[in-house]
A and B are shown apart, each in its own frame.
Chain A
Amino acid sequence: MTNPVSQIEARSLLNEASRISKKAHNAVRWPYITFLLLLGVVTSFGSFAMAMTEGSDFGLAYAITLIAFFIVMMVFLISTKGKLAFAWSKRWSIYIASWTVVYLGAIMVVAFAHGSLVLASVTSGLVLLLNTTFAIIEMKR
């Protein structure tokens, strides 16, 4: 059997595989990366604002967070309609599960340690840090 692929062809095929793989990934990943970043920003700042405010200011922070959250969700659902690039993948399940856990922590601070600057900063900061890290991981893939 002669070699079906020469050294030069092998290099060319590897370059082509890398190019197509990146092209496909680029075509679908940006709505997901934007979603991760916006979700982090909205829920982080929202939970921090809710933890540090009272009365009508709390109501305003709560309403703005809720509206912003729904806008982020709607934009994400519309922009990814029909594209299921990362749906149900193990990696994305881990992202969403991790965000849920740290966000619940931030909400616990709002409910049980209201006004604690340290706890609110740590938990809300963690939400932002985590989602930004996930977004960077996706950008670098």
Chain B
Amino acid sequence: MTIVEKTHPRHQLNELLLNPIRFSLVASLDKAEKLSFSEVRDIIEVSDSVMSKQVSALEQVNILLVQKIFVGKYPKTMLSLTKEGRSAWQEHLAALKTIAG
């Protein structure tokens, strides 16, 4: 068996971020840094249930940091990228740029 070194940029793509909803979710937090669940949901135009599912998936792999805070009396879920998440996002974008040429 021959071991072939994986040099093609496709190998650098993060499979989790190939999902369009997860891709949009992470993209929305790139510059804005910290947004509420509802703000991200409105920006990427998905339902609460779809959003919840993808937030959980990204939180489990430590890409997304989910924090519960209180604004006055009301609870709010805040989302931001973890250090690992930001790094994964930059690597994913770099691989896309290489493929795009």
* Interface contact B28-A24, CB-CB below 8 Å: yes
0/1 per residue, B10-22, Cβ < 8 Å to A?
Answer: 1001000010000
B46 interfacial contact with A, CB 8 Å:
no
Knowing A7-B99, A28-B32, A84-B69 are in contact, say whether A20-B13 is a contact too (CB < 8 A): no
CA–CA, A1 and B24, complex, Å: 25
A41 CB to closest chain B CB (Å) equals 25
Chain A contact patch, size range: 20 to 34
CB-CB nearest in chain A for B6: A1
Interface of chain B, main secondary structure: helix
Checking B23, B34, B36 against A89 with a beta-carbon cut-off of 8 angstroms, the contacting residue is: B34
Which B residues lie within 8 Å of A23 (CB)? 28, 43
CA–CA, A27 and B71, complex, Å: 19
CA–CA, A86 and B33, complex, Å: 6
Chain B contact patch, size range: 20 to 34
Which B residues lie within 8 Å of A21 (CB)? 27-28, 30-32
B2 CB to closest chain A CB (Å) equals 16
CA–CA, A21 and B40, complex, Å: 11
CA–CA, A89 and B86, complex, Å: 14
0/1 per residue, A78-103, Cβ < 8 Å to B?
Answer: 00011111111100000000000000
A-B contact count (CB 8 A): 89
CA–CA, A94 and B99, complex, Å: 37
B29 interfacial contact with A, CB 8 Å:
yes
| B32-47 interface (Cβ within 8 A of A) | 32-36, 39-40, 43-44
* Interface contact B39-A27, CB-CB below 8 Å: yes
* Interface contact A13-B96, CB-CB below 8 Å: yes
List 18 additional contacts besides A82-B71, A85-B34; criterion CB under 8 Å.
A3-B8, A4-B18, A5-B18, A5-B96, A7-B100, A7-B101, A17-B93, A20-B24, A20-B28, A21-B28, A21-B32, A24-B27, A24-B39, A24-B40, A27-B32, A82-B76, A83-B36, A83-B39
Enumerate chain A interface residues (CB-CB to B < 8 A): 1, 3-7, 10-11, 13-14, 16-17, 20-25, 27-29, 81-89, 141
